[in-house]
Amino acid sequence: MANFNFQNPETILLHGGQEPDPTTGSRAVPIYQTTSYSFRDTEHAQNLFGLKEPGNIYTRIGNPTVDVFEQRVALLEDGVAAVATSSGMAAITLAILNLAGAGDEIIADSNLYGGTYNLFANTLPRYGIDVKFVNASNPNEVREAITDKTKAVFGEIITNPSLNVLDVEEIAGIAHSHNIPLIIDNTFATPYITKPLTYGADIVVHSATKWIGGHGTAIGGIVVDGGRFNFDNEKFPGFIEPDESYHGIRYVDLGPAAFATKLRVQLLRDIGACLSPHNAFLLLQGLETLHLRIERHNKNAEEVAVYLQSHPAVEWVNYPGLEEHPSHNLATKYFQNGFGSVITFGIKGGREAGKKLIDNVTLWSHLANVGDAKSLIIHPASTTHQQLGAEDLKKSGVKEELVRLSIGIESTKDILADLDQAIAKATNHSQTIVATKEGAVKWLIGSPFKREQGAVSKKVIAVYGLNDPAGKLYNNAEQLKQLGFHIVPIDESGQEKLGVSSYKQLADVPYDIDAVWINGKVSPTTIEQLINKQGSILWVEDPAISDGTLENAEAAGITVITVNDPYSEAIRIRGNNTLSIPVEV
């Protein structure tokens, strides 16, 4: 009887393809770090090698940890089987070699990741496989390029880095009318955003290194067999002719998973580009939070795209989630849970400005990857696509001024603030995001500790006006001290306050000060001494009596806070209450 439960992707991401370990009861997927497996007897070994029954022989071909990963991704993509590989490039290569040989052709969208383009343009032709590049945004180009030698059409669901969305249904219809399969690289979307197999694709590949893994800790790839394409035709002799290495077996006789089975027992066996058990385990950890990360990735990306659209130093912005994007309608048709988290944009000043931008970011990581939980930035023309000439760069959609962003799951406030200051330095434009006083409050009061260059020290707050031990100021300062802050009393009498001797003036304090807290009038001398003590924050409870001194302090680079008091703000921040400090735009 059918079980209608547990079909939702959020549940499959955690439970798909696995039951608790029958021997130990382990709920987590065990890492089977082994090369090989014991056979029950000679008949069992014979059956395994003859493909008469499923089981493990050698980890190059299959492994229990890897098997869970394969089953889980197959479930997520609505495929019949999957084969994990050592990398995304291995997945693409094996998927092609499973269909084509010397003298055959592949049709590929020209808008591709640089590594894939290089594989198709240079490496495969050396082995006799010719790849024709077309603009798949124009279906007629695909149709006209197909010949009797064509064995597959290949494209990326979101092209890298041009970010066009492929019309899977349209291209699949063209491919199927010529009895050839459509292979889709679903890396940039993931099955949580779209499932190309349900729209007519026949094979899906992933660089699992990216969003599936999500943390930049493991290299891996996977090929998913849709189980829908009929390989029982003479275009694909490798499926209908007997394989003598398996006693004459015909792969079409093995059912819907013929493509995955052939890839595993032929190519993975002979080429050996298998996924390690440990990396499979790491990728499984990534899958368990894929839905949560994708939602945050995509939400952040939409905010960054809108910000870039309005920035005066940005020439253009490319993101499928923007209504102006040429593929927006296709993205709306095929995607759910967002539009991906990669953005490309052109910065005014071209290549040199792009380099300066990248050299001035501090939060963003400059590296050759996407899909990490951390925000990443790169200039493709000089890195990922630098092996391409000017003409090939143009074909692959890479402009000289193009900067690619892979949006992480950090706070968008921090993502945008860092990007904004870097753009300002790269283009000599003013910053469009001004540091807010709320940020200064959080820095000062959020923790009693200052962490700089690996060293940890207490934040130092000098307090004026501790005259009444029963008063609010005295009590609040005492509470801050109990929270761990280093409170320094400043009083002309030099008398003991808060259990320590006070200093007569700020200049007498023998160390640097982070902030001054005053309940009363602020003198120019105090401002001067605060600057000399490397202080950056002046907290004033009664600003009305300070005349123009506070304006002078701000002009000198001091952040002046005039709302509430530090202890009350510390309580607010810890209690997640409504902001007291207005946010400046």
Q: Residue 111 forms beta bridges with which residues? A: none
Name the 3-class secondary structure at 202. coil
**What percentage of the chain reaches a pLDDT higher than 70?**
96
Residues in the chain, overall count: 585
Instruction: Report domain 290-427's class.
Output: alpha beta
Whole-number Å distance between alpha carbons of 483 and 460: 12
Q: Which residue's entry shows tokens 């039951």?
A: 19
| pLDDT value for 3 | 63
pLDDT in tens, 14-42: 999 988 888 889 999 999 999 999 999 99
Helix axes 566-575, 472-482, angle to 10 degrees: 50
* Residue ranges of the chain assigned to CATH 3.40.50.720: 437-575
| pLDDT value for 583 | 40
Cβ-Cβ contacts under 8 Å for 277 (sequence gap 6 or more): 31, 32, 33, 34, 59, 63, 65, 66
- The reported pTM is 0.88
In this structure, whether the domain defined by 437-575 belongs to CATH 3.40.50.720 is answered with: yes
Whole-number Å distance between alpha carbons of 311 and 322: 15
pLDDT in tens, 33-71: 999 999 999 999 988 888 888 898 889 999 999 999 999
- Check residues 397 and 466 and name the one with the higher pLDDT: 466
Strand 559-561 to 537-540 pairing? parallel
Cβ-Cβ contacts under 8 Å for 304 (sequence gap 6 or more): 343, 405, 407, 412, 415, 416, 419
pLDDT in tens, 171-225: 999 999 999 999 999 999 999 999 999 999 999 999 999 999 999 999 999 999 9
| pLDDT value for 585 | 34
pLDDT in tens, 502-521: 999 999 999 999 999 998 78
Cα angle value 350/354/360 (rounded, 5°): 150
Whole-number Å distance between alpha carbons of 396 and 113: 8
Whole-number Å distance between alpha carbons of 569 and 572: 5
* Residue ranges of the chain assigned to CATH 3.90.1150.10: 290-427
| pLDDT value for 582 | 42
CATH architecture of 35-288: 3-Layer(aba) Sandwich (3.40)
Check: CB of residue 275 under 8 Å from CB of residue 88: no
Question: Residue 3, exposed/middle/buried by CB under 10 A (0-12, 13-18, 19+)?
Answer: exposed
Which H helix or E strand runs over 403?
A: strand 402-406
Check: CB of residue 181 under 8 Å from CB of residue 155: no
* Residue ranges of the chain assigned to CATH 3.40.640.10: 35-288
Q: What are the C-alpha distances in Å from 580 to residues 445, 558, 564, 565?
A: 13, 20, 8, 10
Instruction: Summarize the confidence of residues 244-252 as an average pLDDT.
Output: 91
Cα angle value 109/111/117 (rounded, 5°): 80
